[in-house]
Structure 1
Amino acid sequence: MSARRRLSVFLIVKNEADRIDDCLASICGWADQVVVLDSGSTDGTVEIARRRGATVYQTDWPGFSAQRNRALGLVDGEWVLSIDADERVTPALRDEIDAVLSEPELDATLIKMPWRTYFFGRPLRFGRYTAPQGKLFRREGARYSTRPVHEQLLLPERRVRTLTAPLDHHSWRSYAHAQEKHLQYAMLLAQHKHAQGERASLAYACLRFFTDFIQQYVLRLGLLDGWRGFLMAVILGQYAFHKYAALRTLSEDR
């Protein structure tokens, strides 16, 4: 093995004081560079990040894609890991990343890792929130798409490798937070679809509730996660309904 390639980590945050410390504890002292791009926190997030040794920048909020592109412009590593304050790099994942980034003939440009998403105290084993995430990538030529949410990472060449060790994900503080977060994303996507000229009906919104529920609960085996799997399937069905119901309202002539 040769020396590990230089690794930068960045986070875009606002008011994450209750969970950013655990995130930074999993990367500071391991990554060569840690950048936190804050957009107006008032709860001590910035102070925690600085205390952990991260380099902190403060700015406005232009949207998810633009903010990630800003953060990408602040790092200098050959490889970049983009994570959120609700994620934790496990020791096993650190070791696996170290090994891969030390390979002399590393051919991949995008490295995915399993997502171990916790939902009310236990990790989900099935469904959308267990799919491997492309969080680690070569910086040269990389940028994020202009979608308002669920932005896509664009690379000059896309050669994917998937690791085995998990990235821990603690996305929701409570049931209310899970609903608020999905509703926020649904509204942003509805606005984006409307701007792209898409239209929807309430009948289609209702249909999408059922199809997305079935996909999560049955086809993706969420039923094997017990009541947590059922609740997540309902939330994702609601997410789809809200997205297209909001698009229907935006389509109304005013």
Structure 2
Amino acid sequence: MANKTFDKKDPGSPNSELRTPNSTLPLSVYMITYNNGATIEGALKSVAGWASELIVVDSHSIDGAIETIQRYTDKLYQFDTTDMREKYQSAHNLCSNPWVLFIDADEWLTEEFKREVAGIVTGETPCSGFIAHRRNIYLGREIRHGGWYPDYEIRLYRKDRGNWQGGIHAKIHVDGKIGTLKSHYMHAPYADTAHQIRTIDRYSEAFAGDLYRSNRHFHLFNMLARPVYRFFRDYILKMGFLDGIPGLIICASTMYYVFMKHAKLWEMEKKYGRNKGIQE
């Protein structure tokens, strides 16, 4: 199902003269994108002119994202694949600095965060990677409860000690000592609820594909019970109700996401057979 091609965008594109000056900070920042035109500029602005290398791996976006990216970097590559781990790893492999940092197209770095990272990259540390905390903004409110909180993962690491593992929810694995950054970065994943539903549709499809390829079979119990449990856990046990209506929408949409990934797994089994796997 994955259509895999890899090519570099023509560096002589029309808006190349608008790119920001290069920095001498020995850090590569990379991100992967696909139709993130609504948010990508905020992410690019927060790192442009700060790190010495900015790499973006896209999948032939059609929403204006490519034109925006070209204003900030000439290191834009096109890679068509449905494998998120593969896409992240390809961006990682393109980095040329010893330290790398990845961000998503709906995130941005604070000045405090950038000062702390610059100090680590230019100094001495026994750590091979650093966990970073993320603050989430949704429908005009910072989310401090439920399944979105706390939110942290490794983001800064030595390139030669890291590699990507997993499927749709791929994670960077780092060999060596892991530290924790004191500062945070920001995340605004959805412009509105319609954007959220579109994203859920795409991610549930990809997650169901991962389940199918790994011979994880559909069970009616999972489709019925897991969404209810997720809502109860996030809204009641993790006190998502304290985030008001945005918190309720998050928990309800998460429940819908869990339901749909099992529904799509059932659909794949009906279409392709239960034990054959999806052919690449």
> Structure 2 length as normaliser, TM-score?
0.81
Identify which of 230, 241, 255 aligns with 1:212.
230
Query: In the TM superposition, what whole-angstrom CA distance separates every residue of 1:91-129 from its partner, at most 9, and x where no partner exists?
Result: 11111212233442x122221211111111122112332
Q: Is residue 2:78 matched to residue 1:80? A: no
Aligned partners of 2:39, 2:193: CA distance in 1, in Å?
Answer: 17
1:9 is aligned to: 29
2:169 is aligned to: 150
Aligned partners of 1:248, 1:47: CA distance in 2, in Å?
Answer: 39
Counterpart amino acid of 1:169? H
1:35 is aligned to: 55
CA displacement at 1:5 relative to structure 2? 7.0
Q: Is residue 2:132 matched to residue 1:113? A: yes
2:214 is aligned to: 196
**Deviates most, 113-122 or 192-201:** 192-201
2:182 is aligned to: 164
Equivalent pairs counted in the alignment come to: 248
1:52 is aligned to: 72
8 Å CA contact retained: 1:14, 1:38:
yes
Counterpart amino acid of 1:65? R
1:98 is aligned to: 118
Identify which of 167, 180, 183 aligns with 2:198.
180
8 Å CA contact retained: 2:161, 2:176:
no
Aligned partners of 2:55, 2:61: CA distance in 1, in Å?
Answer: 15
Counterpart amino acid of 2:130? I
CA displacement at 1:10 relative to structure 2? 0.7
Query: In the TM superposition, what whole-angstrom CA distance separates every residue of 1:181-234 from its partner, at most 9, and x where no partner exists?
Result: 123212211221122121232232111111111121122221211111111111
Query: In the TM superposition, what whole-angstrom CA distance separates every residue of 1:144-172 from its partner, at most 9, and x where no partner exists?
Result: 1251x1112133x1432222322111111
Aligned partners of 1:247, 1:43: CA distance in 2, in Å?
Answer: 29
8 Å CA contact retained: 1:202, 1:245:
no
Counterpart amino acid of 1:119? Y
8 Å CA contact retained: 1:79, 1:138:
yes
8 Å CA contact retained: 1:13, 1:38:
yes
Identify which of 132, 143, 161 aligns with 1:124.
143
1:137 is aligned to: 157
Aligned partners of 2:74, 2:111: CA distance in 1, in Å?
Answer: 19
Q: Secondary structure at the match of 1:36?
A: strand
Task: Tell me the percent identity.
Answer: 26
Change in 2 beyond 3 A, CA 1:52/1:61 = same
**Deviates most, 53-62 or 114-123:** 53-62
CA displacement at 1:29 relative to structure 2? 0.9
**Deviates most, 202-211 or 48-57:** 48-57
> Structure 1 length as normaliser, TM-score?
0.89
CA displacement at 1:47 relative to structure 2? 2.8
CA displacement at 1:62 relative to structure 2? 4.7
Q: Secondary structure at the match of 2:182?
A: coil
Change in 2 beyond 3 A, CA 1:85/1:187 = same
Q: Secondary structure at the match of 1:198?
A: coil
CA displacement at 1:141 relative to structure 2? 4.0
**Deviates most, 189-198 or 80-89:** 189-198
